[in-house]
Amino acid sequence: MQQALENLEPKSIWKHFDRIAAIPRASTKEAAVRQYVLDEAARLGLKATQDAVGNVVVSKPARPGRESATPALLQGHLDMVCEKNEGTAFNFDTDGIRILRKGDWLTADGTTLGADNGVGVATGLAVMESNSINHGPLEFVFTIDEETGLTGASEFPAGVLKSKYFFNLDGEEKGTLCIGCAGGLITKARRAVKLQTPAAKAAFRIKISGLRGGHSGVDIHLGRANAIRILGATLQAVLAELPAEVADLKGGSAQNAIPREAFAVIALDADHTARLNQILSRCQSEQRTDIGAFDPEITIAAEKTDLPTKVMAAHDSRSVADALACLPHGVLAMSPDVPGLVQNSTNLAIITLTDGVIEIVTSQRSAIESSKLSAANLVATACRLAGFETEHSGSYSGWKPEPNSEIVRQMQEVHNKLYGKPAELVIMHAGLECGTIGEKYPGMQMVSLGPQIENPHSPNERCQISSVEPFYQYLCAVLEAI
DSSP state of 440: T
Angle among Cα 83, 89, 90 to the nearest 5 degrees reads 50
User: Nearest Cα to 423, choosing from 446, 443, 448?
Assistant: 448
Asked if 246 and 317 touch (Cβ cutoff 8 Å), the reply is: yes
Candidate list 146, 170, 245, 433, residue with the active-site label: 146
DSSP state of 61: P
Candidate list 79, 248, 316, 454, residue with the active-site label: 79
248 catalytic residue (yes or no):
no
Classify 231 in phi/psi space as left (phi over 0), alpha (psi -120 to 50) or beta.
alpha
346 SS3 class: strand
146 catalytic residue (yes or no):
yes
Asked if 236 and 325 touch (Cβ cutoff 8 Å), the reply is: yes
How far apart are alpha carbons 20 and 475 in whole angstroms?
A: 21
DSSP state of 380: H
Contacts of residues 353-359 at CB distance under 8 Å and 24 or more positions apart, as own/partner, are: 353/193, 353/248, 353/249, 353/250, 353/312, 356/192, 356/193, 356/194, 356/195, 357/190, 357/191, 357/192, 357/193, 358/190, 358/191, 358/192, 358/193, 358/249, 358/320, 358/388, 359/188, 359/189, 359/190
Catalytic residues: 79, 146
